Structure 1
Amino acid sequence: MRLGAYTACLHDRSLDETLKILGELGLTSAEINTGGFIAAPHIPIDDLLASAGAREDYLGRYTQAGITLTGLNCNGNPLHPDPVVGPRHAEDLRRSIELAALLGVKRVVTMSGLPGGEPGATVANWVVNPWDSQWLDVLDHQWGEVAVPFWRDIQARAAAADVKVCIEMHPHNLVFNPPTLLRLIEQTNATHVGAEMDPSHLFWQGMDPVAAIEFLGDRVFHAAAKDTRINEANARRFGVLDDRFSRTPADQNPLNLGGRNTLNQWPSEPAWQFVAVGRGHGDEFWVPFLQALHRIDPDMAVNIEHEDTELDQIEGLRQAAENLIAAARPAAV
């Protein structure tokens, strides 16, 4: 099992400096962003698609640093109904699969995407509690007319490239939990589409990620190491379905997510928040989590995703790496 990091949090560092930092933290795996919601600062995609020599040189930088490139990450919304957003994210995913095959990288991480609620819509529509029949009408449209045809094509491309596409089960996507992942797999007859097991998005939905791994079995292809802390006092007052987000002011350079969409600011008293490995759950979770992944695939990569806003880039990675490596010892992975 390789322990590493998704390098988006080091977007302001060069690739060589980024790999040096990972090595100094005792990590041996890297996952690089190739489009979607954010840019691709650590990989010259066009050059690598065009030149075998460029690919050889690029991979040589990893070898020299003692790091293995274990995944390309293209998280976005390839099903977005806005024509400025969805088609670009979809093309980023297709290019990422093509590039992964050329580089010999066997994993591409992404999200399932989320369409509009009806033909002609321009805004994505997330339905999670379809007690009223109109919401099932929305889901029927989203799955049958949009998601299944798109993902059948992605499955065919991934199978032809011998690349596994690993879906992060993320809220505000059609696939956000194990049952919706299985629905996608079954409706597309997928062999090369499965799960990226990121426990952080399961924790705040009230799930046990280890039970989710056992439920999905060999449909888990790849994993992220990101923790969630449930702030119990706030959760008792606000619940985990919380809309108290606010717009990021323009003078603070909000992160563009495609088209006119930008990243919002979290509530000041969140019911839950993403934290570095070990700051939400200790070895009582991370040891069995790593063991469960190892039983499925002893060679699986587990890459830290640093989104702890209480820690800076390096300190967040350092704490996560120390705690993940420490958990790997008793897990014997």
Structure 2
Amino acid sequence: MKIGFINACLSELTFEEQLKWAHANGFGYIEIHTAPRTLKVNLKKIAADKGEAHRFKELLAEYELTVSSFLLGGHHLHPDKERRIASQQHLKDMILAAEALDVPYVTTFIGRDHRLTVKDNYELVKQNWLELMRFAEAHGRKIAIENCPMLEEWPGGYNIAFSPENWEEIFNLIPSDSLGLNFDPSHLAWLGIDYIAALKNFASKVFLTQAKDTEVMQDKLNQKGILGEGWWRYRLPGLGQVDWGKFINTLYELGYDGPVTIEHEDPVWEGSLDKIQRGLAFSHKYLSQFLV
């Protein structure tokens, strides 16, 4: 296993500057976030222009880095038709760029119509994801689903793939060997789900792993209860309550040998490029102690 990070947190740097910093600080992987505000590469140009794809590969080789996946959560089941179609097209653009660069995976959300229950969304999963998976399979790519509930849109958020129960139903509805998980224990931690048990139970579906921690602030939880807000926050690995030694050891036991990708959403280590980079470097050092 090698450690990587999602490049969105370094969006003020050029892509080459991101690669240069990553190489200098011992990272082996980079996960490319493709939201408009953070995207540093032209997905359509990479997919359509062999020369552009070659230049991209040469740049990665120069800094000895591997792209673990192209990433964007997306709104693939959104009730607004135009927004849904645009989201699915962006996913296809990521797939085509990944194919051009020999990147095995793209990362996204299943999605959700936030007006409906999880159960009522399953029909939408079938209506939309069977075709999306046919597209991914036709281009030889695998899709790794993030397990964040994305509660920004109420009620219910915009990603139903947040629990083992829901994963099982989704994988039964879309029985593709090319659909799996980008497994992030931080979300399971604050949801009260045993992330080690979930990791073991879905070992065959873990394509990638993201490294983000969660800090539960018990004094605030005591006051607000689980239905309140502000009683937990994301932290860099090593600064929260995820047992990373146990988590990574379990990955080894299960035969996982892919990237461990830091996702920086830590409010304590934001605010300046220096703080962000120091935070990433800290978590790289912290996680490295568990790699053999």
2:84 maps to 1:86: yes
Conserved in 1, the CA contact under 8 Å of 2:29 and 2:66? yes
| CA displacement at 1:3 relative to structure 2 | 0.6
Conserved in 1, the CA contact under 8 Å of 2:208 and 2:260? yes
Query: What corresponds to 1:125 in structure 2?
Result: 115
| CA displacement at 1:314 relative to structure 2 | 4.1
Task: For 2:288 and 2:27, locate their aligned partners in 1 and report how far apart those are by CA, in whole Å.
Answer: 12
2:141 maps to 1:163: yes
Conserved in 1, the CA contact under 8 Å of 2:212 and 2:235? yes
Conserved in 2, the CA contact under 8 Å of 1:274 and 1:307? yes
| CA displacement at 1:311 relative to structure 2 | 1.2
Task: For 1:191 and 1:303, locate their aligned partners in 2 and report how far apart those are by CA, in whole Å.
Answer: 22
Pick from 234, 237, 246 the counterpart of residue 277 of structure 1.
Answer: 237
Task: For 1:218 and 1:202, locate their aligned partners in 2 and report how far apart those are by CA, in whole Å.
Answer: 18
Q: SS where residue 66 of structure 1 aligns? A: coil
Q: SS where residue 287 of structure 1 aligns? A: helix
Query: What corresponds to 2:192 in structure 1?
Result: 206
| CA displacement at 1:320 relative to structure 2 | 4.1
How much is the aligned-residue C-alpha RMSD, in angstroms? 1.9
Task: For 1:50 and 1:61, locate their aligned partners in 2 and report how far apart those are by CA, in whole Å.
Answer: 18
Query: What corresponds to 1:265 in structure 2?
Result: none
Q: Which amino acid aligns with 1:170?
A: C
Conserved in 1, the CA contact under 8 Å of 2:44 and 2:93? no
| CA displacement at 1:204 relative to structure 2 | 0.8
| CA displacement at 1:304 relative to structure 2 | 0.8
Conserved in 1, the CA contact under 8 Å of 2:161 and 2:167? yes
Pick from 267, 289, 293 the counterpart of residue 247 of structure 2.
Answer: 289
Query: What corresponds to 2:94 in structure 1?
Result: 96
Conserved in 1, the CA contact under 8 Å of 2:238 and 2:286? no
Task: For 1:314 and 1:166, locate their aligned partners in 2 and report how far apart those are by CA, in whole Å.
Answer: 31
Pick from 181, 185, 202 the counterpart of residue 216 of structure 1.
Answer: 202
Conserved in 2, the CA contact under 8 Å of 1:19 and 1:65? yes
Evaluate the alpha carbon distance shift between residue 185 and residue 178 of structure 1 in structure 2; reply closer, same or farther with a 3 A threshold: same
* Corresponding residue pairs, total: 282
| CA displacement at 1:302 relative to structure 2 | 1.3
Task: For 2:9 and 2:61, locate their aligned partners in 1 and report how far apart those are by CA, in whole Å.
Answer: 22
Query: What corresponds to 2:288 in structure 1?
Result: 328
Taking structure 2 as the reference length, the TM-score comes to: 0.90
Evaluate the alpha carbon distance shift between residue 327 and residue 32 of structure 1 in structure 2; reply closer, same or farther with a 3 A threshold: closer
Q: Percent identity?
A: 27
Task: For 1:221 and 1:321, locate their aligned partners in 2 and report how far apart those are by CA, in whole Å.
Answer: 24
Taking structure 1 as the reference length, the TM-score comes to: 0.79
List 4+ stretches of structure 1 deviating above 4 A: none
